[in-house]
Homo-oligomer: A and B are copies of this chain.
Amino acid sequence: VSDSFRYRRRVQFAETDLAGIVHFSWMFRYMEEAEHALWRAAGLSVSAPGAAIVWPRVSATFDYRNPLHFEDEFDVIVRVDEVTRRSVRFAFVLERGDTPIGSGTLTATSASRNGDGVLRSVAVPEEMVERLRAAAIG
């Protein structure tokens, strides 16, 4: 997929559960790790100290196809999927070689933190989105 960023990861022991496979909640952390690696590839950080804009989540989804096991190496493929005035949706595919593991989305909204810590919705900065898209294309 040409508009996507690829993040490689290995399954750690603590991520498995008594069913002998990766616990389903870890897919959401794998997606987030890949998204944050994309921000770094774009020369950015999702959470730079003192940043003017923060990115609270508004939605997260995952559809499971095949399980992951201890020490599996797999890829998380991430791209900028949909951008609105107030939100960015990232889309993800997880695969281990030719085996599909599943696919999901994370949607974040852009907000600024005012003096007393309360979040206020702000417009998504276009330049940031352009840098993320450019980094995804690689």
Contacts and interface: CB of A to CB of B under 8 A. Distances in A.
A23 B64 CA distance: 21
A63 interface: yes
A55 to B, nearest CB: 9
Interface in A9-55: 12-14, 16-21, 23-25, 27-29, 32-33, 36, 40, 45-47, 54
Contacts of A62: 59-61
Given A19-B54, A24-B60, A56-B64, 20 more contacts: A12-B29, A12-B36, A13-B18, A13-B23, A13-B33, A13-B36, A13-B47, A14-B17, A17-B18, A18-B20, A18-B70, A19-B47, A24-B28, A25-B32, A45-B71, A58-B63, A59-B61, A60-B62, A60-B64, A61-B61
